[in-house]
Structure 1
Amino acid sequence: MFVVAPPMLCWGFEKLVRTSCSGIELSGTARTLDEALAVDGRAGVDMMVVDIDEAHTEQALRDAAQRFPVMLLTSREPGAVEQEMKEIGVYAVLRTGDSPSALISAIQQGVAAADRRPHGLHGSRRAPIATAPAREADDRARIESLTVRERQLVLAVLCNATAPGKVIASRLCISEHTLRNHLTSIYGKLGVRNRLSLHAYAAQHRLDGQAGLTGQPH
């Protein structure tokens, strides 16, 4: 299973698959479908989960649905997009707030659909997708793009998980407005949406004081 979604959602699906989906593995993640489909790698993919609330082109969705079963997630009412997505070739549309059992059932449905498909574009039903080294290189580049000050701010946010922004700003001797500006830049570089997503990204990539944020950027 391959997940195309923001880091926080990818992290949640990784936990779900590891704890509740026996025999199913998460083969990789990406932030956009174009990113996922652009890299020709070696990792096998049986089915794909895509957050439709993110920006994806219709052509990318069609391309993905032609290569393997695609399940969409949305924060909106599924009926608003379900018919249109079914016409593209998507096999299921669920809400991000649906129960874990509903998500697991849909994942299993997608894997079963993959088993019934004929051989794909590369002589196997498992279509190539971005390799783990490629994803790791991309994440390293994102982290290394942070300035020294941005790294300090990330560590401050991670060490003050429950503190309001104005408290963190006060501890850093900057205004809350300046903190928000820095965080906006950090979110853009790391591809996250908010502090919650930043914490999930940090947990996934072990961004503590001993792993990657204390050194100088390249």
Structure 2
Amino acid sequence: MPTQTKPMFKVSDQPILVMLVALPLVAWGLERLVESAQPDLRLMGSVSSVADSLSSMGQRTPDVVVVDLDGEQGAESLGLLHSKTSARILAVTGSPHEVLHDEAVIAGARGVVNKRDVDAAQNLLKAIEKVHRGEIWIDRNATSRIFLELVRRRSSQVQHPEKQKIASLTRRELQALTTLASDPGSSSREVAEKLFISENTLRNHVTSIYSKLGLANRVDLYAFAQRNGLT
């Protein structure tokens, strides 16, 4: 993503306070981009995880938090951020997969900027301004897909209580659930390796799965998966 692109807008007399959530290499480029847009934007800080962003906000909340979905936290972390802060959330990713983009919006992002777009840098600056004003940064096709997905989830909630719980899982949590249930004897390290994530990330997924499904342990998880054809 280019880092020396001047914004084409004047937002207000007060700069938009921006916090970045990205791994160091990506954060470096995003920092340069936000700094190039001064005085319209002001970089409030840069951290590597959503958890770090929440702990570092302190008494002052940013106007917009830009989250790189290509970091380990993924789209599922946006739900936590959305529930804990009044800041507007904007996601960036290099992934072309529409499912990831849609999940980010459903989780609380006001829009998704693709880092691979030709005008990615300028688009990000424009998107920051728009979400700060209360608008969204998604195209019409995405709006339609998200609406249909929300209808599908609502329908599953009406049909069966356990289907409702399954629909509350993120894509990665569902992958973790099916992997765990498919091999009850596997260790956490083996499951994490299959999913290409760290054991710490797997533990976070499992904690969230237990909470959402109302489970106490791995035996309960296996039984739940068996009942719902998830093994």
Give TM class, smaller chain.
0.3 to 0.5
Compare relative contact order (CA 8 Å, sep 6+) and give the higher one, 1 or 2.
1
TM-score (norm 1): 0.47
